[in-house]
Amino acid sequence: MHITQVRRYEAEQAQPSIEILKKIALSFNVTTDWLIFEEGERNLPNNLQLKFDAVSQMTEEDQRTIQSLIDGMILKHIANQLVAGSQRG
């Protein structure tokens, strides 16, 4: 990657592709999340972090069950938002 292109990224005159982000992350031994997000932007609230830490100690089967429950709740939330949005519009 040429220094001119890096300067464009830094000046927000251009945005790197996903492939370039991956190469940058690998070169600096960091995650793409570290490159993209501000510090703390993707952190969970403490109470949820503690719960997920506890879940990580469970069996894989229990983890899959909890993931399915979370997926179901997310789908329910999205459906509720769509219904509410269609009733307003």
Start-end of H helices in 13-59: 18-28, 32-36, 46-55
Of 56, 32, 35, residue with least CA distance to 44: 56
Domains of the chain by residue range: 3-36, 46-88
Could you tell me the pLDDT band of residue 2, with boundaries at 50, 70 and 90? confident
Could you tell me the pLDDT band of residue 89, with boundaries at 50, 70 and 90? low
- 19-76 pLDDT per residue, tens: 999 999 999 999 998 898 888 888 888 889 899 999 999 999 999 999 999 999 999 9
Residues 6+ apart with CB under 8 A from 6: none
Whole-model pTM over 0.75: no
